[in-house]
Amino acid sequence: IEGQSQLRRHTRPDSSAPHFQEHLSLFLLCPLHLHLRLREEEEEVAMSPLADLLSLDLSGCTGKIIAEYIWVGGTGMDVRSKARTLPGPVDDPSKLPKWNFDGSSTGQATGDDSEVILCPQAIFKDPFRRGNNILVICDCYAPNGEPIPSNKRYNAARIFGHPDVKAEEPWYGIEQEYTLLQKDTNWPIGWPLGGYPGPQGPYYCAAGAEKSYGRDIVDAHYKACLYAGINIGGINAEVMPGQVVSGAEIPSPFPIKIVHGLISV
């Protein structure tokens, strides 16, 4: 009403004119339109912070970085991790602080003596947080410095690092061969639910939506490995639908392909 009276005071046209009624309606609807637009923008803002924060680049506001410490859990097949803030970029694992965790919660210690020490062994760029943030691969030791039973790396490093072994320049060809599982059904991707695929033949190194399954996930994994600095040699679909093989080579004298794994999607 106030807007209508102001408009009439300034224009004073014939209120019966169709064009005047049209303009008056638009004028009176403007505040409502603006209000609705503001509400829409508020809803968009309210829905977007999580996505914005996940992709937030910290380099413009702090020199600190996030280091994700990663280790093999008590079953030997589970992966555990936790993150800590560091004052700045680090490119050598020997410069990283050791850390600890409650081993009684991971099946790696008893409740009466649960502390386990994390010793950083390798650093990779973090393809998830990006920037200067890093992934830190660790192995695990008791407080007295002895490797705990689930630390298989300790003996492997002793063997690989022995002068006699180095002199032989051995090559290890262990592939990472994994199967993509559907999260809700725990059934391989590309398989009929509760059933089985056709005989092998069409799926190995296949192309096409009816033969090659999960290619977007496989490609994302491939690129993430390259971004992180892993010398992944290549990937291909295997003989079973939803099965993929990849190989990562470590510089001579230890060109090693990664061990078997299982990924759930």
94: left (phi over 0), alpha (psi -120 to 50) or beta: alpha
Range of the domain at 113: 58-160
pTM of the predicted protein model: 0.73
Q: Does any domain span residue 207? A: yes
Residues 129 and 201 in one domain: no
Quick one: 190 and 232 in the same domain?
Answer: yes
Whether residue 45 sits in one domain with residue 98: no
**Is 210 a member of any domain?**
yes
| Residues in contact with 222: Cβ distance below 8 Å, sequence separation at least 6, in sequence order | 232, 235, 246
Consecutive H or E run containing 79: strand 79-86
Q: In terms of domains, do 97 and 29 share one?
A: no
| Distance separating alpha carbons of residues 132 and 220, to the nearest angstrom | 20
Question: Is residue 166 a part of any domain in this protein?
Answer: no
CATH number, domain of 93, equals 3.10.20.70
Q: Is 109 in the same domain as 31?
A: no
Cα separations in angstroms, 47 against 40, 52, 193, 207: 11, 10, 34, 38
Q: How many structural domains does the chain have?
A: 3
CA 70 to chain centroid: 13
Final residue of a domain: which of 128, 160, 192? 160
User: How far, in Å, CA of 32 to CA of 28, rounded?
Assistant: 8
Angle at 60 between CA 56 and CA 62, to 5 degrees: 95
Beta-carbon neighbour count of residue 148 at 10 Å? 16
Q: 25-34, 64-73, 197-206, 242-251: which has the minimum mean pLDDT?
A: 25-34
Residue 176 lies in a domain: yes
pLDDT in tens, 250-265: 444 444 333 333 333 3
Which amino acid type is present at position 207? A
Q: Do residues 148 and 223 both lie within one domain?
A: no
- Give how far the C-alpha of residue 99 lies from the chain's centroid of Cα atoms, to the nearest Å: 22
Q: Does the pLDDT at position 208 exceed 50?
A: yes
Half-sphere exposure of residue 108: CA atoms within 13 angstroms, side-chain side? 30
Per-chain mean pLDDT for the chain = 81
Q: For the domain that residue 247 is a member of, what is the CATH number?
A: 3.30.590.10
User: Can you tell me which residue has the tokens 């072994």?
Assistant: 165
The H or E element spanning position 111 is none
**Do 246 and 184 have their domain in common?**
yes
First to last CA, the chain: 58
pLDDT tens digit sequence for 49-79: 888 888 888 888 999 999 999 999 999 999 9
Long-range residue pairs from 229-233, CB within 8 A, at least 24 positions apart, any chain: 229/124, 229/125, 230/124, 233/257
